[in-house]
Amino acid sequence: MLLDISAKIDRPIATVLTDLAELAADSNIEFLVVGAMARDMILDWGFGINAGRATRDIDFGIRVADWEELERLVHLLKRRNWHCPEDQQHRFFHESGVPIDLIPFGAIESDDGEICWPPHFNEVLSVIGFTDAYADSWKLLVSRAPVLEIHVASPAGQALLKLAAWRDRGLIRGDRDAYDLRLLMERYLDLDNIARVIEEYADWLDDDFDYPLASARLLGIDVARCAGNIPAERMTTLFESLDPGPPESSLSYAMRRVGEDDDLLYCQRLVNAFCHAGRE
CB 24 within 8 Å of CB 61: no
Q: What domains does the chain contain, in order, with CATH numbers? A: 2-153 (3.30.460), 157-279 (no CATH)
State the distance between the two ends of the chain, measured CA to CA, in whole angstroms: 26
Distances (CA, A) of 133 to 15, 114, 230: 24, 15, 11
- Give 51-88 pLDDT, tens digit per residue: 887 678 999 999 999 999 999 999 999 998 899 887 77
- Give 178-204 pLDDT, tens digit per residue: 889 999 999 999 999 999 999 999 999
| φ, ψ dihedrals at 153, nearest 5° | -55, 130
Per-residue pLDDT of the chain (280 residues; tens, 9 = 90+): 789 999 999 999 999 999 999 999 999 999 999 999 999 999 999 999 998 876 789 999 999 999 999 999 999 999 988 998 877 778 999 999 999 999 999 999 998 899 998 887 888 899 999 999 999 999 999 999 899 999 999 999 999 999 998 877 765 556 888 889 999 999 999 999 999 999 999 999 887 899 999 999 999 999 999 999 899 999 998 898 887 666 677 888 888 887 766 688 899 999 999 999 998 7
Longest dimension (CA), the chain: 62
